DNA sequence: AATGGATCCAACCGCATAGAT
DNA sequence: CATCTATGCGGTTGGATCCAT
């Protein structure tokens, strides 16, 4: 028996949202909330949309204080370090970046950071600057703390780490007491852009990096507390960063209640 | 100017989980 | 306890846009 569809796909609109739809949804939620039921909400307000689609639209775009684009290098570093530590748990990572959504973080990772970290070569100069899309233009000078320069996937942004003597990790702010902060790996361990175009060399360096993490992450005991002390409940460790699957004793993350305060110094 | 490839990102899909019954 | 339903989440896709030729 198959799973019941969440909505009648034949009778719901799909694809991009119109400004009118956005306005309907936004004003209703601002006035009445979601009513605790996304499924019935679109019918209530006369939207021919799936409840899931409404939820996604609200969470990713209509919600107040959402920021799009213009990721700072500091945010990039946080994303990379968390990805290395906990894998593709985008909601957790996004929770550390105020105003960012999991979808945004995920897209940013997939389109830029992954290339940074996993070998997009700096000498790819075909596209020195990326286009500035309308949403990005909207975000420029909106107090995001960025310079208003849209770094591209391959130019300044992509080459940022490549230009460094080695991948440089600023220290990650601990997310809870006793949380063993993923600490900057030895610089030489991730110098993946320096003559490491050879996959073998790169993998070796990654191995070193994760051996490093295997030590540092042993302190993640407080992961256990996330689910009432159950060491494995609620956590599929196969989904943890593939880079960390070899790590022994990796345990569950604690609840991440406080977003990382960007720009705050970190005591290690 | 036309075309094809690359890139980005909004949106969808489907699975896992939590909560209700 | 079993089943059903809604929600949350991560993976993937499709279309728009840009750049190089």
Distance CA A99, CA A6 (A): 28
Among the four given CATH numbers 3.20.20.70, 1.10.10.10, 3.40.228.10, 1.10.10.60, the one describing domain A73-118: 1.10.10.60
For A85-101, letters b (16+ CB in 10 Å) and e give bbbbbbebbbbbbeebb
Question: Among A68-72, A108-112, A208-212, whose mean pLDDT is lowest?
Answer: A208-212
Q: Encode pLDDT of A5-62 as tens digits.
A: 567 766 788 888 888 888 888 888 888 888 778 888 888 888 888 888 898 889 888 8
Check whether residue A43 has its CB closer than 7 Å to nucleic acid strand C: no
- Dihedral sign, CA of A74, A185, A188, A212? negative
For A7, other C-beta atoms within 10 Å of its C-beta total: 17
Domain ranges of chain A: 19-62, 73-118
Which nucleotide's C1' sits nearest to the alpha carbon of A86? C10
Distance CA A171, CA A152 (A): 25
Q: Encode pLDDT of A139-151 as tens digits.
A: 433 333 333 333 3
What's residue A212's pLDDT? 38
Q: How far is the CA of A106 from the C1' of C11 (A)?
A: 10
Q: How far is the CA of A156 from the C1' of C12 (A)?
A: 28
A112 closest CA partner among A143, A82, A156, A68: A156
What's residue A229's pLDDT? 36
- Would the pTM count as exceeding 0.85? no
Q: How far is the CA of A234 from the C1' of B18 (A)?
A: 11
What CATH number labels A19-62? 1.10.10
Q: Encode pLDDT of A233-251 as tens digits.
A: 333 333 344 444 333 333 3
Q: How far is the CA of A1 from the C1' of C17 (A)?
A: 43
Check whether residue A239 has its CB closer than 7 Å to nucleic acid strand C: yes
Q: Which two tokens stand for residue A258?
A: 């406080």
Same fold, A19-62 and A73-118: yes
Check whether residue A238 has its CB closer than 7 Å to nucleic acid strand C: no
Q: Are A264 and A100 in contact (CB under 8 A)?
A: no
């Amino acid at each position: 028996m198959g799973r019941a569809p969440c909505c009648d796909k034949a009778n719901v609109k799909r694809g991009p949202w119109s400004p009118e739809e956005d306005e309907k949804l936004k004003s209703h939620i601002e006035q009445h909330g979601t009513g605790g039921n996304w499924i019935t909400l679109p019918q209530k307000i006369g939207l021919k949309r799936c409840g899931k689609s409404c939820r996604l639209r609200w969470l990713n775009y209509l919600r107040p204080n959402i920021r799009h684009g213009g990721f700072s290098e500091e945010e990039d570093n946080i994303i990379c370090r968390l990805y290395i530590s906990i894998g593709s748990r985008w909601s957790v990572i996004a929770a550390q970046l105020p105003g960012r959504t999991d979808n945004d973080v995920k897209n940013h990772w997939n389109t830029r950071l992954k290339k940074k970290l996993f070998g997009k070569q700096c000498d790819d100069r075909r596209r020195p600057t990326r286009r500035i899309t309308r949403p990005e233009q909207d975000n420029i000078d909106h107090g995001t703390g960025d310079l208003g320069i849209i770094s591209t996937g391959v130019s300044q942004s992509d080459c940022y780490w490549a230009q460094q003597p080695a991948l440089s990790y600023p220290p990650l702010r601990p997310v809870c007491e006793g949380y063993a902060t993923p600490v900057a790996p030895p610089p030489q361990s991730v110098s993946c852009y320096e003559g490491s175009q050879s996959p073998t060399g790169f993998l070796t360096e990654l191995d070193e990096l994760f051996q490093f993490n295997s030590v540092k992450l042993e302190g993640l005991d407080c992961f256990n507390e996330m689910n009432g002390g159950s060491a494995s409940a609620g956590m599929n460790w196969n989904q943890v960063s593939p880079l960390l699957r070899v790590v022994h004793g990796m345990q569950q993350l604690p609840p991440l209640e406080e977003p990382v305060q960007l720009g705050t110094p970190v005591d290690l």
